[in-house]
Every structure is written in structure tokens, then in C-alpha cells.
Homo-oligomer: A and B are copies of this chain.
Amino acid sequence: MSEGSRKPKAMDHAVMDHRLERLIFFSDAVFAIAITLLVIEIHVPHLTGNVAEALQALTALEPSFFGFALSFVVIGRFWMGHHSAMASVASYSPKLLWPNLQLLMAIAFIPFATAFMSANIGQLVPTAFYNAVLMVSALLSLRVVTMARTLWPVAERHGDWLLMGSRGIGVALGAASALALTFYSPIISQLALVTIPLWQRLAARILHARRSADDA
């Protein structure tokens, strides 16, 4: 088949897909860089060779290790959500660009929020700041996932949405709980993140009920 006989429509389609791929690629890169940059906020102690001193230095780094692990899982989760929501997008839309950039800005900001919290562990303002950044990221992520869903093929919108939408809502509510709990006790507030699966189940039940109502 000659170059000239290629239909313009098919070409547009290819260009579209390529734009979507670049958008996904750029997002993946930002997620990957942010998640890997977490480590450079952990400062290396210089020791004299004494074992007790070395163990003490490692103990003093525990908040940094905790912050690294927590934010690694958090960014990893956001990436997985992005990954799932974008995988089903059937066609590129420039509408995605701006909300996606806002989400990436929040994600790229997490290494700072993490280091701020870890350096001042258990303090009210840094912990509330971290939990607030988490909640904003969750809301921006939920918006991107919701917008991506409008670009899914119609047939797939119900099944996966139940899972993905409830996941996004769960993370946002879990982060909001952690933020609220900060004002009661900063040190235990991040434990509220373990309530995420409960919120997810609740959200899934409500989304399911609404869908059944829509179908009826």
C-alpha cells in the first residue's frame, strides 16, 4: 500500500495515540523521579567507628526511613491508580493535560513534604502539612482518574470504575482522616492511613448502589 493511500483518519488516530503515550510516559517519569528522589533527603551521618554511636545514628534516622517507606508506598499507589486509569483510555484528549500536570505538581512536591515531616517528626505543623499534601494529591488523582474514565470505551466504564473510583475516594478519605487526627495527636495520625481499605469498601458499596439505581 503506498504512502499516499493512507487514510487521513487513520493517521490522526496514530498521532492521537502517540500523544497519549507521551502524556503517560511523561507522567511515569515524574512519578519515578519523585519516588527515587525521596532517598536524597536522608542525610548520611559521619561516624567515628564506635558501634554504639553508629546504632544510635541509625536510630536517629528512623523518622527518615519511616518517611521514605511511607511516601514510597504512597507515590507507588498513586502511580498504580494512574497506571490503571490510563490503561483503558481509548483516545487522547488535550483536556487531560492540565489536570494531569496539577497532579504531577503535587506528586513532585511529596519529597519536600516527606523530608519536612521526617526532620520534625511528631510535630503538629509538619505532620498536618504532610497529611494535607497527601489529601490534595488524592483529590487531584481522583479528578484525573474521573476524567480519564470519560475517555474509556463505554463497555468498560462500569466494572473497573467501581474498583478505581472507590480506591481513589478511599485514599482521599484516609488522608483526610489522618489530617483530622493530626490535631489530636500528630505522632499517631498517619495510622489513620490504614483506614483507607475501610473507606474503599464503603465507597465501593455506595458506587455499586448508585449504579444499581441507575440501571433500574
Please report which residues of chain A, range 33-60, place their CB below 8 angstroms from some CB of chain B when the two chains form the complex.
33-42, 44-47, 49, 51, 54-55, 58
A57 to B29, CA, bound (A): 31
Residue of B nearest to A55 (CB): B125
B residues within 8 A CB of A76? 101, 104-105
Residue of B nearest to A13 (CB): B3
Contact of A155 among B8, B122, B153 (CB under 8 A): B8
A49 to B47, CA, bound (A): 27
The answer to whether A18 and B87 touch across the interface, beta carbons within 8 angstroms, is yes
Please report which residues of chain A, range 74-102, place their CB below 8 angstroms from some CB of chain B when the two chains form the complex.
76, 79-80, 83-84, 86-88, 97, 101
The answer to whether A30 and B35 touch across the interface, beta carbons within 8 angstroms, is yes
Size of the chain A interface, CB-CB below 8 angstroms: 66
B residues within 8 A CB of A80? 97
A51 to B183, CA, bound (A): 12
A87 to B125, CA, bound (A): 45
13 more contacts with CB within 8 A, not counting A8-B155, A23-B83, A42-B112, are A22-B87, A26-B83, A29-B33, A30-B36, A37-B37, A39-B108, A44-B115, A46-B120, A47-B126, A54-B126, A55-B125, A72-B101, A72-B105
